[in-house]
């Protein structure tokens, strides 16, 4: 049985798109499938992308104790929760129910340039201001703090002297689109092996 993925996204949804396309392209193996895209914003472009791909969508209140999101995840029998540009903290109730089964991508080499308020252009502006010669992409497990859970994968990206936050963001995003779907796939495979081993 393919792992059932929920993708949570607040914005544009380009990583969501990369994940959908990746799992479509390896459809014969049926490792995982995005069965739900949910957002804290009913007008998130990510929901539109999902609807276009005939995937169920939902908007939920991110400010409750997690009950609404948890009910959604349980209703769709979600195995793995993938955060893709989701800007809110996941509540402890959901974290404890889905421990080790929520992953996030961050557009820098954590623990550098992470934490509350570090998202979007701010991350790349801070990297450039620091004079760092390289930045990158981090995929990590989610715990109850911003950008602090165990790291699953990292990939380096060079910073050019002429880079603006915009040009750097674009270079990093291209790498995200390659790395994230593949890490999600690996986590899904490991999860399936683990569940077979415990039967």
Residues that bind ligand GRF (CB under 6 A): 9, 11-16, 84-85, 105-107, 173, 176
For the CB of residue 29, give the shortest distance to ligand GRF in the complex, in Å: 24
* 107 alpha carbon, distance to own chain's centre: 11
Residue 68: name the closest of 25, 38, 27, 44 by CA. Answer: 38
For the CB of residue 96, give the shortest distance to ligand GRF in the complex, in Å: 22
d(CA 170, CA 60): 29
For the CB of residue 82, give the shortest distance to ligand GRF in the complex, in Å: 11
Residue 110: name the closest of 98, 101, 100, 119 by CA. Answer: 119
For the CB of residue 98, give the shortest distance to ligand GRF in the complex, in Å: 18
The angle formed by the CA atoms of residues 178, 141 and 41, to the nearest 5 degrees, is: 75
Closest residue to ligand GRF, based on beta-carbon distance: 85
Q: Which is nearer to ligand GRF, 62 or 85 (CB)?
A: 85
The full DSSP string for 108-148 is: S-TTTT-STT--THHHHHHHHHHT-SEEEEEEEE--SSTT-
Q: Is 106 designated active site?
A: yes
- Contact residues for 186 (Cβ-Cβ < 8 A; gap 6+): none
Residue 105: name the closest of 59, 145, 49, 152 by CA. Answer: 152
Query: Annotated catalytic residue: which of 106, 124, 140, 177?
Result: 106
Q: Which is nearer to ligand GRF, 1 or 150 (CB)?
A: 150
Catalytically annotated residues:
106
């Amino acid at each position: 049985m393919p792992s059932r993925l929920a993708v949570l996204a607040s914005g544009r949804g380009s990583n969501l798109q990369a994940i959908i396309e990746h799992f479509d392209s390896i459809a014969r193996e049926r490792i995982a499938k995005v069965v739900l895209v949910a957002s804290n914003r009913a007008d998130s472009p990510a929901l539109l992308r999902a609807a276009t791909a005939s995937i169920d969508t939902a908007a939920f209140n991110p400010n409750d104790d997690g009950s609404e999101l948890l009910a959604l995840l349980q209703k769709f029998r979600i195995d793995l929760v993938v955060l893709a540009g989701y800007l809110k903290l996941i509540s402890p109730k959901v974290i404890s129910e889905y421990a080790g089964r929520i992953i996030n991508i961050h557009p820098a080499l954590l623990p550098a340039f992470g934490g509350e308020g570090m998202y979007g252009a701010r991350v790349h502006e801070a990297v450039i201001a620091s004079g760092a010669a390289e930045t990158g992409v981090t995929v990590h497990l989610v715990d109850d703090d911003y950008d602090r859970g165990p790291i699953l994968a990292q990939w380096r990206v060079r910073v050019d002297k002429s880079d603006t936050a915009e040009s750097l963001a674009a270079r990093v995003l291209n790498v995200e689109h390659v790395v994230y779907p593949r890490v999600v796939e690996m986590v899904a495979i490991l999860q399936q092996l683990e569940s077979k081993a415990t039967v």
